[in-house]
């Protein structure tokens, strides 16, 4: 039996779930090992800390607990990432006004520049991969990925 059915073939839900799982596995391996490995340069911004920068860049300052929930990782993991970025002056932290035990995290101007720099390198890599795709196909992929991410966030917590 071929690994992938021919276009237009009827695929059962079970088979399609297996195919989605297989394709996501390949996608993650290829993006983490190749596509997303570019653009970081030397320093604290890598595939683990970049999502922190992106969230803060798009949503502004937030409590560490909110950042942790949005990323969907443990508080100690996100705290280590924030500390690493803070040591490099890419984020700032201070006690929350309503609760001095809570921590607010904010992107610094340099952190915003790093987020933009890495994001552009990643987008350039994607442009090279999707150069032969129609605008409609690219938009369809973006829509389906957004839907998958929304459903994953609702199922497991975290949104980015």
* Choice between 90 and 45, residue whose per-residue pLDDT is larger: 90
R_g (Cα) of the chain, nearest Å:
19
- pLDDT at residue 44 in the model: 87
Residue 4 pLDDT greater than 70, yes or no: no
Residue 74 pLDDT greater than 70, yes or no: yes
User: Residues 5-29: what's their mean pLDDT?
Assistant: 74
User: Residues 2-30: what's their mean pLDDT?
Assistant: 71
Element (H, E) at 106: strand 99-107
Say if CB 55 and CB 71 are below 8 A apart: yes
Q: How many Cβ atoms from other residues are within 10 Å of residue 141's Cβ?
A: 12
* Strand stretches in 10-90, DSSP E: 62-63
Residues 100-115 have pLDDT tens digits of 899 999 999 999 999 9
Cross-strand pairs, 92: 106
Residues 29-72 have pLDDT tens digits of 777 666 666 667 777 888 889 999 999 999 999 999 999 999 98
- pLDDT at residue 32 in the model: 66
Is domain 13-129 classified as CATH 2.40.420.20? no
Element (H, E) at 62: strand 62-63
What is the pTM (predicted TM-score) of this model?
0.75
- pLDDT at residue 1 in the model: 44
Q: What are phi and psi of 47, to 5 degrees?
A: -65, -15
């Amino acid at each position: 039996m071929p690994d992938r059915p021919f276009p237009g073939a009827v695929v059962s839900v079970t088979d399609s779930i297996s195919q989605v799982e297989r394709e996501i596995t390949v996608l993650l391996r290829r993006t983490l090992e190749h596509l997303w490995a570019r653009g970081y340069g030397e320093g604290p911004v890598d595939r683990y800390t970049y999502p922190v920068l992106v969230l803060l860049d798009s949503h502004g300052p937030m409590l560490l607990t909110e950042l942790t929930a949005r990323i969907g990782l443990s508080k100690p993991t996100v705290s280590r990432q924030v500390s690493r970025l803070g040591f490099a002056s890419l984020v700032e932290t201070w006690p929350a006004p309503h609760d001095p035990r809570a921590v607010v995290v904010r992107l610094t101007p340099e952190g915003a520049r790093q987020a933009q720099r890495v994001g552009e390198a990643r987008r350039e890599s994607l442009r090279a991969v999707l150069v032969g795709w129609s605008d409609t196909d690219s938009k369809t992929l973006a829509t389906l990925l957004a839907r998958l991410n929304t459903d994953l966030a609702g199922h497991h917590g975290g949104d980015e």
